[in-house]
Chains A and B, each alone.
Chain A
């Protein structure tokens, strides 16, 4: 998984499709990131924060009972144990440090489920920056707890009332807002999407998941490398970070999308939110609203590197339904005592289906990134239970 070059291309995907007004800002972020990433001092500062603040390395937990039930060896990479409860903190600490290095005083972000918003509010508080987080009104209603967390942390949470009032509209609004304050604000994008260098930069900040997991698998598995590496995909940052650690191995990479918003399974090539990739659209090319019980996965597009990995056959992308996801939440909770985020439960649901359906060979070894914890989803689960 290489450096996408100055044009930011992953095969035919990626690029920088933004208004002329934002081009200098994107170029400045790219230049700053290239310098920072090559700077041992920056890497040291980031690694220290990841270690003493975010709680890295996160554990690799064998799912003992579920593995026995399914006849496979399932290892969980526990991003749910990272500070703020999801993998989002890895990327945000990296970008917030970069923003400081660039002399910026404010972070702008978009958020769907609220996890990226909470992570951004957290990093802003830690580093003495202010934060403005755009969130669809619909997502705000179903993730009230995270909205409150952001505000307690000192961030401004701005409801977005346009379009479908979800993540895609929050992303558009954050980009519009960025234009108005590029000189003092840094756009802290939450996934492997947006204009170059974001898809690449976010993958690099998330590759800590894959690198750690690879070393942990080497200690845990006789063959060192798992047969399958599985992660859920909305924009796809936890999957991109996980896959990056195993790209040069023979492990089969599997990305799991929500059936109601499957950009790769059901989408077509699109140019949206600064990059070319796949997105779900109607017959006239209008982007459709995606539906998923997980607010973080109802984004109708996907990061450009995933589109490329799909095209070249290095990763495959599958879908699971909301019902399968809910069943997976209960099963993991009751067999392992771990309540996964609804997003992460997509990956669990596919492993259960593939193992029980015979698609996974007996004794297959599976690494699954549990991208976040399910506390934020208890209101949704309660509603479903009623």
Chain B
């Protein structure tokens, strides 16, 4: 592997790629889901990921649909925990930046400052906390900034215009736009709300806007990236991993998503 760039902030990396005309692809992996989980990170990186979202499993994943719930519970049954996951990540060298996705309970448990510092020390330079809305950001915003971790905020189809403005202003790295009013999970069609939200966000910020939730296929990715700067893909990949796909097989799925984006947006 090449030397890690995970130690540099997400924002400049994604912005550079976006500005070069590339649609961003951010695949998700539940850390600890199987013994060789870090091999999947390499497969993601080698097949066209621009950033990788790493789920730190929590027992009460209230934002997640059945597939990511199953992945989280499988990881926890295997004994996965934040300390060991970060220790494993320290040994991984990738050429894409990493962002952790987890719930606020795990973030605040041992203190916000230590949590963010531990992330940064493991090379994770982004943090997404889906159950921590704008109103409760408070101290985490400062702790993340002090540790040079980009605190990525989530925007929803139900967000008011005023909240979208605040989210755009306070988010770092990129903005995670939730495509649909639903938990994470594979859906047959991409919701109409997806493009609308991405377009609204793009009007008020120059931060990259990455659309997630319900993006499963290359067609979804292409449709989602029309109004957004890129897409996040989670449950579809996790389903494959839970069903036994190897890193090479999952890497091929990521490559197909990459290829579709590159063809549609040359």
A→B interface (CB under 8 Å) = 7, 15-25, 162-163, 168, 172, 175-176, 179-180, 182, 268-274, 284-287
Contacts and interface: CB of A to CB of B under 8 A. Distances in A.
A146 to B, nearest CB: 24
Nearest to A173: B62
Contacts of B131: 17-19, 271, 274
Contact of B159 (A20, A172, A269, A274): A20
Contact of A21 (B61, B132, B136, B181): B181
A271 B183 contact: no
Contacts of A179: 181-183
Contact of B158 (A23, A168, A269): A23
Given A20-B156, A25-B158, A180-B181, 15 more contacts: A17-B131, A18-B62, A19-B63, A20-B155, A21-B158, A21-B178, A21-B181, A23-B134, A23-B163, A172-B61, A172-B62, A179-B183, A180-B182, A270-B109, A285-B109
B92 interface: no
A272 B135 contact: no
Most chain-B CB neighbours within 10 Å: which of A18, A176, A268? A176
B69 A23 contact: no
A168 B159 contact: no
A168 B135 contact: no
B133 A17 contact: yes
A172 B60 contact: yes
Contacts of A23: 133-135, 156, 158-159, 163
Contacts of B109: 268-270, 285
B44 interface: no
Contact of B105 (A15, A172, A270): A270
13 contacts: A7-B135, A16-B135, A18-B131, A19-B154, A20-B167, A21-B181, A23-B159, A24-B158, A175-B62, A271-B105, A271-B108, A272-B105, A286-B58
Given A20-B155, A273-B60, A286-B76, A176 B183 contact: yes
Interface residues of B, number: 42
B76 to A, nearest CB: 6
B106 A182 contact: no
A341 to B, nearest CB: 26
Interface of B: 58-63, 65-66, 69, 73, 76, 81-83, 103-106, 108-110, 130-136, 153-160, 163, 167, 178, 181-183
Nearest to B183: A176
A273 B135 contact: no
Given A172-B61, A272-B60, A285-B105, A20 B181 contact: no
Contacts, number: 105
A24 B59 contact: no
A172 B182 CA distance: 13
A287 B163 CA distance: 31
B141 to A, nearest CB: 15
Given A18-B131, A20-B155, A271-B103, A163 B58 contact: no
Contact of B136 (A17, A176, A270): A17
B65 A176 contact: yes
Contacts of A269: 108-109
A182 B156 CA distance: 13
Contacts of B83: 284
A172 B61 CA distance: 8
B104 A182 contact: no
Contacts of B58: 285-286
B109 to A, nearest CB: 4
A284 B62 contact: no
A106 to B, nearest CB: 15
Contacts of B182: 179-180
B66 A16 contact: no
A37 B82 CA distance: 44
A287 B105 CA distance: 10
A186 to B, nearest CB: 15
Shortest Cβ-Cβ A-B pairs, 6 listed = A284-B81, A21-B156, A20-B156, A285-B109, A286-B59, A271-B105
